């Protein structure tokens, strides 16, 4: 909001010219005009605020924060300065300050809930899940047809592992928008996390009718087969996927563990070694599996080395293998 609340005619003219220059995208010129106005009337909060906004437009966020600080020092009731300082803080990485400022602004504007979306977006960015959930629930109740808020809320529930709440959101969205394919794969993921692998498979099959080549869905289908102990079917899919993505370290790790279940220890050793060399995102899992493969191949010392590495990387199950199969010298 632009405000001109000054009495001195030269300052009024400078502000009007500054606002006009800013509106025309001439931000450097606007800042110079506000500089002149501030030199004449340094105690007027609105002058610092206007210069701060122009600095924001010029993406000079640190100096914008300085101007908004001065604005609020001169006039603590200048509410718009809290909103803009929140944006400036966010751009400079001062997220907690940004959250405090947007909260102050929202408290002063309780009847305009549209700003809750700004706070929710910021809260998601800094993983303040409770704040994001509260704001998004209010927005969703007010704007039932807005799928954007539903998807943001879904992200919060997925991050906080509130799987039933995530499922409720997806069910409601699918009723409203049955034509949106991505909702089905999202619901398949939720069912998978809830360990309802059969339902997850059902959702994937619906999704694959329209997107039969979607590798994410195909991979999830294999994962469901794995947890349903349908290891041969899972292995076939993993094998096919690796033909197209030979260096996918996570896919290699999952395939390797599937081969273990089929008793193909030599091949599992080779696949899991490839996963480790490809800098797997979860190397503890790959080392655990390779240790199992090598133990079954009669390579006890190498197996214990892998389990020791897996344990050091945070895999709790590796400790049991070490305890049951390895001497102290191997640990």
Enumerate the H helices of 58-94 as residue ranges.
61-74, 79-91
Cβ atoms < 10 Å from Cβ of 207? 23
Helices (H) and strands (E) in the chain, counts: 19, 0
pLDDT category, 82, cuts 50, 70, 90? very high
pLDDT tens digit sequence for 92-134: 999 999 999 999 999 999 989 989 999 999 999 999 999 999 9
Give the pLDDT score at 143: 84
Give the pLDDT score at 328: 60
Domains of the chain with CATH codes: 1-94 (1.25.40.10), 229-331 (1.25.40.10)
pLDDT tens digit sequence for 55-70: 999 999 999 999 999 9
Cβ atoms < 10 Å from Cβ of 246? 11
Burial of 248 (0-12, 13-18, 19+ CB in 10 A): buried
Give the pLDDT score at 52: 98
DSSP helix/strand/coil, 2: coil
Say whether pLDDT at 1 is over 50.
Answer: no
d(CA 187, CA 13): 59
DSSP helix/strand/coil, 264: coil
pLDDT tens digit sequence for 197-241: 999 999 999 999 989 999 999 999 999 999 999 999 999 999 999
Contact 241, 251 (CB under 8 A): yes
**Nearest in space to 262 (alpha carbons), one of 291, 229, 285:** 229
> What pTM, to 2 d.p., does this model score?
0.79
d(CA 235, CA 222): 7
Residue for token pair 């655990």:
288
């Amino acid at each position: 909001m632009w405000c001109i609340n000054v009495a001195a005619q030269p300052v009024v003219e400078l502000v009007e010219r500054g606002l006009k220059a800013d509106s025309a995208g001439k931000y450097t010129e606007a800042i110079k005009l506000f500089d002149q106005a501030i030199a004449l009337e340094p105690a007027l909060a609105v002058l610092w605020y206007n210069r701060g906004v122009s600095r924001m437009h010029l993406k000079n966020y640190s100096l914008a924060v300085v101007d908004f600080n001065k604005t609020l020092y001169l006039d603590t009731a200048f509410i718009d300065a809290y909103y803009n300082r929140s944006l400036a803080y966010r751009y400079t990485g001062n997220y907690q300050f940004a959250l405090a400022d947007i909260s102050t602004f929202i408290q002063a504007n309780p009847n305009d809930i549209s700003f809750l979306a700004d706070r929710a977006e910021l809260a998601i960015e800094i993983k303040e899940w409770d704040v994001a959930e509260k704001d998004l629930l209010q927005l969703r109740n007010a704007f039932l047809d807005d799928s954007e808020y539903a998807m943001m809320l879904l992200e919060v529930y997925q991050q906080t592992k509130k799987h039933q709440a995530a499922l409720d959101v997806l069910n409601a969205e699918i009723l409203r928008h049955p034509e949106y394919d991505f909702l089905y794969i999202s619901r398949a993921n939720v069912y998978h996390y809830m360990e309802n692998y059969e339902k997850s498979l059902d959702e994937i099959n619906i999704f694959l009718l329209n997107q039969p080549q979607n590798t994410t869905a195909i991979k999830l289908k294999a994962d469901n087969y794995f947890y349903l102990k349908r290891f041969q079917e899972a292995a076939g899919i993993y094998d096919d996927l690796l033909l197209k993505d030979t260096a996918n370290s996570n896919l290699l790790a999952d395939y390797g563990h599937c081969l273990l279940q089929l008793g193909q220890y030599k091949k599992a050793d080779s696949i899991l070694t490839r996963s480790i060399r490809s800098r797997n995102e979860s190397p503890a899992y790959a080392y655990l599996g390779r240790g199992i493969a090598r133990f079954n191949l009669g390579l006890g010392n190498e197996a214990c080395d892998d389990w020791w590495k897996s344990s050091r990387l945070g895999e709790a199950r590796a400790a049991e293998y070490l305890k049951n199969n390895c001497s102290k010298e191997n640990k």
